[in-house]
Amino acid sequence: MFCAAAVAPLVLPGTAHAQGSCTVSGPTTTCTFAFTGAEQAFTVPGGVSQVDVTAIGAAGGLEGVNNTAGGRGAQVSGTLGGLTAGQTLYVEVGGVPINTSACYVFSPCIGGFNGGGTSRFGGGGGGASDVRTQPAATPLTTTDSRLIVAAGGGGAGEVFSSSCSGSHGGDAGQSGQNGACDGGMGGGAGTGTQGGAGGSAPGGTPGGSGALGTGGNGGAGTGGAGGGGLYGGGGGGSLNGLATPFGSAGGGGGGSSLVPAGGTGPTLTSSAASITISYTTPGKPVTTVLTAMPPHTRVGLPVVLSDLVCPTSGSTTRPTGTVTFTDTTTGKTLGSTRLLLGLGRCAAAGLVTTFHTTGTHTITAVYSGDTVYQGDSSNPETTTVTVTR
């Protein structure tokens, strides 16, 4: 009576979009990414090497007869370091399950974007939210590129009897509830090493096991619930129409999360899925001119080193801070002096030094930066001084 083929997961194109909605408050820039149903992207700004991320996974779908709830998504926070300017991070915000013509009329059976397991009856699994270094369309080789993952919740199991209660989907990291009235078993939770096992059903089809990034599908027709995904979405709930009187199917298992070293979570939340990326707002860029007078000298004679630091176009505040001069040929730090001399919008720092070995000496000047402007330690100005006897 209730036999039907399992519905394939809904696959949406992974198209990179803009940077989310970014705001600046004091020294911090915060970019918030909401669910769009597609892959989004964040480009690491110049002067930024680490970002703080909070990810929230999506909840599993409810069961439509008694409105039994799906499982809650996870919240995970952590710092992602070792980033480079211009690097792209790919942002996947998990989706909540949806109801289409493929679903039983009462329940949102299609799993949420980014790994939610799908069902025919009952709720689909919620999608995970994650940040990764490779787009979703890139085939896996030896390692997965996810850096942080907040898992999705499992979908609720369907019920067709007023004397039986629906089965809750598992919260992220937890197994789904077993079905009442001799119903199907709940899907297992995803763990840190593997997806959760699919739930069994008396005389029916077992639910699918979770896999990397994906929750298992609910069993076909009269089947068990799907397992939670490894670093992914929740499993789909299903229906057990072979039990008497129409027992409820088990709830889908919740997915497992990935917490970066030193991060916090996972905790459970009823908040909407999202990803927030924040970082210390980098200062404005400067241009610098380093000179050595004279550029040709003799051992022991004085040489004046001067570094002129100027704002780029559009900035009017005069730079402050210090400049450190180094003889990279000998590895000797020659000194650090403050920017003092004002020349219009520019400022200069300088010192007098002597050289005690012959040859060509390469000098670098590193501007420290201040509350307005970036330092230039990653690309310092250089000049040379040729020393003879």
Give the whole-angstrom CA distance, residue 348 versus residue 17: 42
Tokens 């020294």 -> residue: 27
pLDDT band at 12 (very low <50, low <70, confident <90, very high): very low
Q: Are 365 and 306 in contact (CB under 8 A)?
A: no
CA 270 to chain centre: 19
Residue 55 has pLDDT above 80, yes or no: yes
Q: What are the residue boundaries of the structural domains of the chain, listed by start?
A: 1-281, 286-388
Q: Which residue has the higher pLDDT, 20 or 223?
A: 20
Taking residues 250-273, what's their average pLDDT? 94
State the pLDDT confidence band at 322, using cuts at 50, 70 and 90. very high
Domain spanning 286-388: which superfamily? C2 domain (2.60.40.150)
Q: Please list, residue by residue across 220-256, b when 16 or more beta carbons sit within 10 angstroms of its beta carbon and e when fewer do.
A: bbbbbbbbbbbbbbbbbbbbbbbbeebbbbbbbbbbb
**DSSP per residue over 144-161, as a string?**
--EEEEEPPPPPPBP---
User: Which strands sit side by side in the sheet containing 346-353, from one edge to the other?
Assistant: 286-293, 303-311, 346-353, 341-343
Beta bridge partners of 291: 306
Lowest mean pLDDT among 226-240, 307-321, 366-380: 226-240
pLDDT above 70 (res 59): yes
Return the residue matching tokens 């899907």.
Answer: 187
Given a cut of 60, whether residue 40 has pLDDT beyond it is: yes
| Beta-sheet pairing, 28-34 with 21-25 | antiparallel
Q: Residue 377: what pLDDT?
A: 86
Q: How much of the chain, in percent, has pLDDT values that exceed 90?
A: 55
Strand partners, 31: 22, 277
This prediction's pTM: 0.76
- Of the spans 187-191, 224-228, 248-252, which averages the highest pLDDT? 187-191
- Work out the average pLDDT over 197-201: 84
Positions of E strands within 82-208 = 88-92, 129-132, 146-150
